[in-house]
Homo-oligomer: A and B are copies of this chain.
Amino acid sequence: MNDDALEPRELGAYFVLMEAVSLLQHRIEQQLRAEGDISSVQFQLLARLAGAPGEVTMTQLADGVVYSRSGLTYQAGLLEKAGLITRRPSPDDERATLVAVTDAGRDLFRRLLPGHVQVTRLLFDPLTPADVEHLREVMTRVRDHLRAQPPRSAAPRKRRSGDASAAGGAKRTTRAS
Could you tell me if A167 and B36 are in contact, using CB atoms closer than 8 angstroms? Answer: yes
- Copies of this chain per assembly: 2
Interface size class of chain A, counting residues whose CB lies under 8 Å from the partner chain: 35 or more
Interface string of A124-149 (1 = CB under 8 A from B): 11110101111110111111111101
Q: Does A27 contact B (CB under 8 A)?
A: yes
* CA gap between A143 and B16 in the complex, in Å: 7
Q: A145-B126, A173-B42 are in contact. Are A16 and B139 (CB under 8 A)?
A: yes
Could you tell me if A111 and B143 are in contact, using CB atoms closer than 8 angstroms? Answer: no
CB-CB contacts below 8 Å: A118-176 with B: 118, 120-127, 129, 131-136, 138-147, 149, 152-153, 156-157, 159-160, 166-176
Closest 9 CB pairs of A and B: A108-B167, A13-B136, A20-B143, A126-B141, A23-B146, A126-B145, A82-B173, A37-B171, A36-B167
A residues touching B (Cβ–Cβ < 8 Å)?
2, 4-7, 9-10, 12-14, 16-27, 30, 33-39, 42, 64, 66, 78-79, 81-84, 104, 107-108, 111-112, 114, 117-118, 120-127, 129, 131-136, 138-147, 149, 152-153, 156-157, 159-160, 166-176
